[in-house]
Amino acid sequence: MLRAISTILAVSLFASAHCANAAPARKARAMAKPAQAPVVWKLQFTEDFKGTNLNEKLWSRIDRGQSDWNRNMSLREDLVTVSDGQLHAYGVKNADTSSDSRSFLTGGVSTHGRFAVKYGKIEVKCRLEAAKGAWPAIWMMPEKPSEGWPRCGEIDIIERLNYDSFVYHTVHSGWTAQHAGDPPSSGKGEIKAKDWNVFGLEWTPERIVWTVNGKPTHSYANVGDDPSRYPWTEPFYLMIDMQLGGKWVGSVDEATLPVAMHVDWVKFYKGTRKGKPLTEFVRPGRK
């Protein structure tokens, strides 16, 4: 009798423990979005930087601002150039502080007001030079944000700091500001530090996937019912910029300048699911 009672208690305890352990898994499955058919990506167009002038139908130069990322930005034409089929964005020591008191100047380009994409794939072939205080980035922001940052959402395709042999992939939102690890909002991808790399982003209603040289390196899934978890549901524009200095990257060593990022091409893909269009391209400047 005692043995029978012991057996019953053991089974009950095992069942209780199993149910307790299974509860989080059931909750996660309940929160997950239903499985979707795969997306088929097809190249829409390539920006291959032909000629010697910036394609102003697609890009504009980034002006200075008050944030770490743009406080050294300048509209000076020699900080963003096009030659040999490449875009070049530079970070330099300011040799003439009489007209501009900043110690360093940087260049970058943006498609804001010219081109935006919703639920698409982007690839950028880029070579990143390194320097102390260098902070090159390829990233996206909403074309017409309905809320302030970070609730409006931000997608950082890549950011590199100093001489790192890897890049960061990150999303920012109202949710990640409070719950950065649920799910992880940032990851890393190993790069060929002194060579060309292809940085990719595949963005759907269900998830964002980052790639480096064709290999998936990080992902962020749309789970749960809180819309602040996944605000990337509207067109976003693209920025490519060579930044210098800031709280995150640290101080700049002017002896390691100038520094540059070189872009060979940018490719935009449209996605379809079961033959139905998924991607939306927007050209705000066109009537």
- For every residue of 97-145, DSSP letters joined together read TTT---SEEE-EEE-TTT-EEES-EEEEEEEE---TTEEEEEEEEESS-
Residue 210 β-bridge partners:
201, 218
The predicted pLDDT at position 33 comes to: 57
The predicted pLDDT at position 189 comes to: 98
Buried b (16+ CB within 10 A) or exposed e, 186-220: bbbbebeeeeebbbbbbbbebbbbbbbbeeebbeb
Q: How many CB atoms lie within 10 A of CB 249?
A: 21
Could you give phi then psi for residue 24, rounded to 5 degrees?
Answer: -60, -40
Who contacts 121 (Cβ-Cβ below 8 Å, separation ≥6)? 41, 200, 201, 202, 203, 268, 269, 271, 279
The predicted pLDDT at position 34 comes to: 63
The predicted pLDDT at position 286 comes to: 64
Could you give phi then psi for residue 251, rounded to 5 degrees?
Answer: -75, 165
The predicted pLDDT at position 32 comes to: 52
> Can you give the pTM of this predicted structure?
0.88
Can you give the pLDDT of all 287 residues of the chain as single tens digits? Answer: 434 444 444 434 434 444 444 444 444 444 555 678 999 999 999 999 999 999 999 999 999 999 999 999 999 999 999 999 999 999 999 999 999 999 999 999 999 999 999 999 999 999 999 999 999 999 999 999 999 999 999 999 999 999 999 999 999 999 999 998 999 999 999 999 999 999 999 999 999 999 999 999 999 999 988 999 999 999 999 999 999 999 999 999 999 999 999 999 999 999 999 999 999 999 987 64
The predicted pLDDT at position 25 comes to: 42
Secondary structure in 3-state letters for 158-227: EECCCCCCEEEEEEECHHHHHCCECCECEEEEECCCCCEEEEEEEECCCEEEEEECCEEEEEEECECCCH
The predicted pLDDT at position 36 comes to: 83
